[in-house]
């Protein structure tokens, strides 16, 4: 489920992914997030929308079970629709990251204007270890951290500590996990609360205009590459099934 809370006199909408399995970004969760974001258009006083995970972790990523043939088309189109809606949200957006932020969870964070992270956070896209790749991250990462860092993240599947992503320019604020909420509140009061919500609305849309345009051009091609080519390979299916069966994959390289 996704819990919602209005804070700071209605200026801050807090969205919290609260799922028992490590806050997986399932189809159901994505649809809840999309409904919540659709409501932002009727909230002119809003100055910030944040997404975070309940408990110790932001999200371990999308549901691997929903990456199986027959379900993956729906899962991927829902995720990419959610990415598009985040990029079109008429208010500043931020991910509040504690613990693990992986795969589809990291893609959500990348689609936010800002990322606030706990000092012990680990972020990355490990999809290559399952025999697949992360289309939204492949579109977003080069624009957020540069082509070389993006290629390294996508090709190796390594997760990296918050220090590495801070050095890459992705992280706005870091704080110990137990102090992160207070740090976000302080940042909000210092930088957004004194501003006009109308000005912030248009500034947010303007600041991400290039990112939104580039992603809208590239992501449909990557989605087709994933669904129409990659998912017809033996290794994509093998990697997913091996993960679900808790065994090492046996690659055929085809």
What would the pLDDT profile of 1-24 be if each residue is shown by its tens digit? 999 999 999 999 999 999 998 999
Best CA proximity match to 46, nearest among 207, 209, 201: 201
Alpha-carbon gap, residue 110 to 30, rounded angstroms = 15
CB atoms within 10 A of CB 20: 9
- Does the reported pTM lie above 0.85? yes
Query: Residue 218: is it exposed, middle or buried by C-beta count within 10 angstroms (0-12/13-18/19+)?
Result: middle
CB environment 45-83: b (16+ within 10 A), e (fewer):
ebbbbbbbbbeebbbbbbbbebbeeeebeebbebbbebb
For residue 17, list its beta bridge partners.
Answer: 2, 53
Which pLDDT tens digit goes with each residue over 47-94?
A: 999 999 999 999 999 999 999 999 999 999 999 999 999 999 999 999
Identify the structural domains of the chain with CATH numbers, from first to last. 2-177 (3.90.226.10)
């Amino acid at each position: 489920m996704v819990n919602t809370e209005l804070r700071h006199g209605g200026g801050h909408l807090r969205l919290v992914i609260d799922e028992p399995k490590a806050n997986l970004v399932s189809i159901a969760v994505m649809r809840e997030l999309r409904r919540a974001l659709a409501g932002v258009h009727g909230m002119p006083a809003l100055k910030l929308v944040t997404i975070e995970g309940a408990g110790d972790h932001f999200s371990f990523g999308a549901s691997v079970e929903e990456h199986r043939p027959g379900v993956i088309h729906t899962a991927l189109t829902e995720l990419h629709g959610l990415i598009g809606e985040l990029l079109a949200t008429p208010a500043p957006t931020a991910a509040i990251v504690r613990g693990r932020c992986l795969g589809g969870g990291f893609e959500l964070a990348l689609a936010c204007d800002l990322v606030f992270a706990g000092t012990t956070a680990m972020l990355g896209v490990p999809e290559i270890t399952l025999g697949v790749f992360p289309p939204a991250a492949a579109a977003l990462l080069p624009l957020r951290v540069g082509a070389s860092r993006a290629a390294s993240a996508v090709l190796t599947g390594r997760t990296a500590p918050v220090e590495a992503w801070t050095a890459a320019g992705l992280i706005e604020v870091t704080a110990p996990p137990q102090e992160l909420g207070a740090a976000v509140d302080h940042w909000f009061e210092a930088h957004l609360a004194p501003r006009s919500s109308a000005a912030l609305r248009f500034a947010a849309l303007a600041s991400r205009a290039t990112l939104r345009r580039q992603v809208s051009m590239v992501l449909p091609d990557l989605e087709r590459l994933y669904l129409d080519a990659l998912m017809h390979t033996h290794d994509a299916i093998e990697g997913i099934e091996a993960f679900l069966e808790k065994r090492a994959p046996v690659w055929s390289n085809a």
